[in-house]
Structure 1
Amino acid sequence: MPVYIRKNVNFTPPSLDRIPLEDEDDYITDPDQLKDPLPQPYRMIDKVLGQLVEEVWDIVESRENERLEEGRKVRPPRHENTKSLEYLRKCGCMTDSGDGLYMFIGHSKGIIVIDANTQEKVTLWEEDRVDLQYIRAHIIAPNVYLLVSIDDMGFSRLHAFSGDKLYLLKHLNEHQMPLSTRQSSRTSLQLIDKNNAVEIKPKIFLNFCHYPESRDIWLEIHKLPRESWVTELDNIKAKLQKKEEPKQEVKEVKEEESTETAEPVEGTDGEKSESQSQIQQSQSNEDTAGVKFSQPSLVFKLKQPPQVSALESRGNLSSSVYSTCQKVDSGEVIGTGQNHVLSTTQIELRKEVFDHLHENLLEYAPKDDTVDNIQDVNFHFLNAGKMIPLGLENPANLTIPTTVAVWWKDSTHVMHYSLLKTPGKDETKPDMVWPFTAKITSSAVSDETSLMIIGLVDGNIVLWDRYLGIQRGVINISDNSCIDTLLFLDPSICPQEMTEYPPYSTRTTSYLLVLCRNGAMYAVLMGAGGTQAEPICLSPQIEESGEQFSKVETVRGLPDLILTVLQNGNVQIRDVLQGKVLCEMKVPDTHEIMSPWDPVVAIGNTGQTLYLRVIEREPTETDETTTDASTPQGTVLVYPLNTFNTLETFFNRKRDSIPLSVHTTVDKRVDALMKERIAMQAFRKDRMQERWNCFKEEIWTILQYKEQAARKAEEREVYEYQHVRVFDVKS
């Protein structure tokens, strides 16, 4: 490419004399004055004010957008309470009886039993300095209920309610945790329906304690004499009935005389009824006091296993190689890693070598956490199964729990212990161990204990089928949150898969409700072919702290509904399959929910009534009225759910009970196949006629193929060989 350059062009640099002098007016000391002519400090003040106005305007605009979005939303209807139970001001916990007849209320002085329909007192049990914080009820016989309660000091008790009376059966841990040691203890209990086993979890947390050696946690399994208790209660009721017959006759005579002589006085009916109820309750307490019942028997006791950090620094404490090899696991099954052949000296030597090799990098290593966190323990009773066949030879053990599954907080193992084995004196070893790749955060077991679901910290859930002894699947629920709550839903709300063959049922389809730590709620479909790949999102991730769920539970008698309580105090009833809020409970303006993060709420009367504990709001500084500085008074609000219009369709809907897992025996399978064979005999003639017609077509097709093959054989050329040459092998 040609380049054209001018010729004879000289560049003469300017001389110093020709350079113009700098003009002071053209020199700008502040370059920002080109855009803003204001001098300092007024320019800075203007910028600060402008930025402040912009930020305020952004806040006003965001609030306006939020107000418009809230106005566009369809808010659920809010229903008011119809009754307030003032005599339950110091209620600390409540639970349903299971059959919808009674409500058991735990308060600051004992237990109150009320009728679920009329909300009237039935009986009570009182004791000084007993502030109950936990109560559960289980049916152990017709019209006989077993109550499990825990007070604020961690002491647990077993009560029996029968014949409109409460009986104290047992103090479970009164001698294990004396209050003189200034220990702040807490106990958790769980009872299994339709069996005779109970679990107890004493957890001793030491506050300003002078006995550090007692800092411990353990799990105890007790066997309850259920049949003996029922027999003893029947005998006590018979004796009390004989004593009350003459008293009742005298009482009727006195009432007749009092009605004839007494004059009506205004305003004394309520006082008389209260005094009469107090007299009856004191008499019932006197009748039930001093009665001795059969005592539970301890099956075994599990101690807290060492943590992973302790296992890394602790060696085998045996004195000889022979004793070390005896304590080591045989290796036939998966173990927990607690028993190994590494000695303490070897572990310390390895640590010294590591510190010497990486001395320059030790300052960047994370520091060890010196806080000794007390681990929590979680457990489930499991019926007999083929994974642990101990007890299957006895048919009586098929319907009762024979195994307990235990996992500890921050653990990656689920350990199974047999309840039929006699544990050793020193240690109880697990019969089976399930290892997982991440820490366990939650677990759930189906009603018949054939399915067990495990939630992990990495957002995965693992479903185990104990009947088949395999995993149904592993599903990832969330990548940025751990699993917090797992609930098995009623299979009746899920459409069942109908299969043409086999003629007997093999497996049930059901939903699993999963709640993550970030507030997201999912429903997972567990079908006959396994689990669904994509979970159904019922509620997205919640960013605001006040909108987080503090309680989620199913509604007894209404499988389509769930009860949710938010941390901001909203009590809601939701559709479990759609996640839609159907209604909310409206609290009076003068009250608020007591501890929304741990609310006292229960649903009784088979889902028809909701009970909610509220307290008075604390007065503000602008209130002119003077109030007492004592603790705010509380009450229990009653909401009739069966009168809400939004829930009418759910009450009218009828669901057939469907078992979550189907166990079809060989006899049932043979009977089903024979019935199908007999039912198909009526169509045998038609099928035979159809088959003979098919034979004619098949024979004609075969003949056609035969003729075609013969025709092709005739048309084929024939090669004839006149001379065959023979080769001599020797030549």
Structure 2
Amino acid sequence: MSTNRVESKLSLPVLLLKIKSPKPLTGSTFKSPLEALMKIDDGSVIGLGQNHMIKDYQWEQQDAIFRSTFQMHLEKESEPDSKEEKPSHAVFHFLLPDRILQLGPELKAQPDVPIGISVHWKGSHNLCLYLLTRPPKEKTDAELKPDIVWPCAAPIICSAVSSCSSYLTLACEDGTITVWDKCQGFPLSVTALPEGCLSRAIHFLQTPTAPSDQLPSPKVQLLVLCTDGSLHLVTVSKLRESRIVLLADRPEDPDQTISAVAPIPALPGAVLVFSWDGTVCLTDTATPQTVCHFITPPSHTVASPWQPVFTLDTNSQCLLLRGDEQQQAGLPPQTKYNQSSIFLFYFNSYQSLEVFPAVPEPPPDSLQYLPWEERCDIFLHERLQHLPRVSQQIPECWSQLRKHAVALQRESRKK
């Protein structure tokens, strides 16, 4: 039996960016405000707060006032002091062109090719956005400054980007989840989780594709896994209203705590749920009920169920799950690692999965997959079509404003 071997050659990696975590804020070394202003660029981007005029003694005074005021709470929640520098943990996402992260007029974006990345570090309030296309004269070894900085009210815990790169969501330590519409350039909603719940992982669910002659409908569904093991479904509607549905409450048995979740793009509303006890099930977010279980052979168990190793194929039609061989009872423990295997579960072989609707093929000219320049042209065209109706409403609005102004003048004269 002959086999055809296909040789593939990979190109050498090319350094595009070298990003370092922001330095901690320290006392200012500037002697005058003018010297601090000289360090600021053109002022078009909000910085990371490094160029300030706060001295070391001012930081110490504020810290002393804070500790004297909240000494009681600090003693209850005191943590052991550690002066060792902990390694920074960064989370990043690739971004497609949009109104927030734009290329210059001399560069043209290619479809489905990312132009930038978003990065946030553990414990940081800022989301930093960097363009992948740098000027050729710029040194790669120089300390790179972000092109855009999004400051948040609380440290960012986790983040996610939708598959079409139209939406970006940030979950913070204060229990809020913000969804940004990257195509329009404004936040779609700000949702507060129930009291005591903090996000541990967040995922976008598959939403229906908009027709080719309409802009993408701003209906977003998020799957939020919290630190207490509860699972929530957050739905954001067109009117910027959000709704939270509890899919799974905190279990009484610690072994049933959810360790990981993963949506299945090919099955809208279907979510894979992994538990600490090695259970792997598929849940319907519309019900929410367990549809089926994926069970390994008796000779194997799910590898590291608290952090399972799994993936989906490119078409989301198959689950690949790693399983470790179980130690047989009565045998001495092996010194070497147990043999691991990869198990394949084909979703088409489960009749119970027929309850999920099939994902329709998106039209080739769907606006969700068009560049943002073409989306803007279509948006402006729709606005021009509505211009006659808006022109008719302007005189009525002016008349209402005049009546309101007259009423205010009368009230002011009475006073």
- The two structures have a TM-score, normalised by structure 1, of 0.44
After superposition, the Cα gap between the structure-2 partners of 1:400 and 1:535, relative to the gap in structure 1 and judged at 3 Å, is: same
Taking the TM superposition and a 5 Å limit, the aligned residue runs for 1:107-256 are: 164-167=6-9, 169=10
For residue 475 of structure 1, the aligned residue among 171, 174, 191 is 191
Letter in 2 for 1:644: Y
Q: How far apart in 1 are the matches of 2:58 and 2:351?
A: 73
> Paired residue for 2:174, among 438, 454, 458?
458
Contact 1:523–1:577 under 8 Å retained in 2: no
Give the alignment partner of residue 601 of structure 1, picking from 310, 313, 320: 310
Aligned partner of 1:302 among 19, 28, 40: 19
**Matched residues in 2 for 1:389 and 1:353: separation?**
40
Q: Paired residue for 2:343?
A: 637
Aligned counterpart for 1:552 among listed residues 261, 283, 286: 261
Shift of 1:331: 5.5
Q: Which residue of 2 aligns with 1:522?
A: 232
| Contact 1:513–1:522 (CA under 8 A) maintained in structure 2 | yes
8 Å contact from structure 1 (residues 486, 512) kept in 2: yes
Q: Hey, what does 2:290 align to over in structure 1?
A: 581
Could you tell me whether the CA contact under 8 Å between 1:463 and 1:471 is conserved in 2? yes
In structure 2, do the counterparts of structure 1 residues 604 and 326 end up closer, same or farther at CA, with 3 Å as the change threshold? same
Where 1:491 maps in the other structure, the secondary structure is coil
Supply the distance in 1 between the matched residues of 2:41 and 2:133 (Cα, whole angstroms): 22
Matched, 1:572 2:276: no
Unaligned runs of 5+ in 1: 1-121, 124-162, 170-292, 675-731
CA shift, 1:409, in A, is 0.7
**Distance of 1:605 and 1:447 partners within structure 2:** 13
Aligned 8 A contact 1:555 1:561 in 2: yes
Letter aligned with residue 338 of structure 1? Q
Partner of 1:647: 353
Deviation at 1:349, TM superposition (A): 7.4
For 2:228, give the aligned amino acid: N
Which residue number in structure 2 is paired with residue 338 of structure 1?
A: 50
Count, aligned residues: 368
**Larger Rg: 1 or 2?**
1
CA contact (8 A) 1:384 1:391 kept: no
SS of the counterpart of 1:391? coil
SS for the counterpart of 2:85 is coil
| Cα distance change of structure 1 residues 601 and 393 upon mapping to structure 2, 3 Å threshold | same
Matching residue of 1:611: 320
Question: Is the contact between residue 409 and residue 440 of structure 1 (CA under 8 Å) also seen in structure 2?
Answer: yes
Partner of 1:400: 113
The residue identity in structure 1 corresponding to 2:342 is: V
Q: For residue 200 of structure 2, what is the aligned residue in structure 1?
A: 484
Aligned equivalent of 1:434? 150
SS of residue in 2 equivalent to 1:335: coil
Q: C-alpha distance in 2, partners of 1:350/1:600?
A: 45
In structure 2, give the amino acid aligned to 1:530: R
Aligned counterparts of 1:362 and 1:478: Cα–Cα separation in 2: 28
Match of 1:23 in 2: none
CA distance in structure 2 between the partners assigned to 1:445 and 1:586 by the alignment:
31
Q: Which amino acid aligns with 2:93?
A: H
For 1:669 and 1:339, locate their aligned partners in 2 and report how far apart those are by CA, in whole Å.
40
Letter in 2 for 1:405: S
Q: Deviations over 1:535-583 (max 9, x none)?
A: 1222223343222222211225333422221111001122233332111
8 Å Cα contact 1:510-1:660 kept in structure 2: no
The alignment partner of 1:559 has SS state of coil
CA distance 1:582–1:354, change in 2 (3 Å): closer
SS at the partner of 2:38? helix
Question: Counterparts of 2:158 and 2:280 in 1: how far apart (Å)?
Answer: 24
**Amino acid paired to 1:390:** L
Larger RCO: 1 or 2 (CA < 8 Å, sep 6+): 1
What is the deviation of 1:592?
A: 1.8
Looking at structure 2, the residues matched to 629 and 420 of structure 1 have their Cα atoms a distance apart, in angstroms, of: 50
Tell me the equivalent position of 1:386: 99
Q: Deviations over 1:18-43 (max 9, x none)?
A: xxxxxxxxxxxxxxxxxxxxxxxxxx
State the 1:477 CA deviation. Answer: 2.1
Change (3 A) 1:406 1:351: same
In 2, Cα distance between equivalents of 1:386 and 1:605: 29
Tell whether the 8 Å contact from 1:538 to 1:577 is kept in structure 2 after alignment: no
Q: CA deviation at 1:602?
A: 3.0
**SS of corresponding position for 1:646:** helix
Aligned with 2:123 (options 410, 417, 440): 410
Query: How far 1:375 moved relative to its partner?
Result: 1.6
Q: Quick one: distance in 2 between partners of 1:524 and 1:601?
A: 25
Cα 1:461/1:591, change in 2 over 3 Å? same
Shift in Å at residue 649 of structure 1? Answer: 4.2
The residue type paired with residue 351 of structure 1 is E
Distance 1:473 1:661, change over 3 A: farther
CA distance in 2, matches of 1:637, 1:349: 60
SS of alignment partner, residue 578 of structure 1: coil
For the Cα contact (< 8 Å) 2:267–2:358, is it kept in 1?
A: no
Alpha-carbon offset, residue 383 of structure 1: 2.1
Tell me how far apart the structure 2 counterparts of residues 648 and 369 of structure 1 sit (CA, whole Å).
54
Identity over aligned pairs, percent: 26
Written as runs of structure 1 = structure 2, the 5 A alignment for 1:237-276 is none
RMSD, matched Cα: 3.9
8 Å Cα contact 1:523-1:536 kept in structure 2: yes
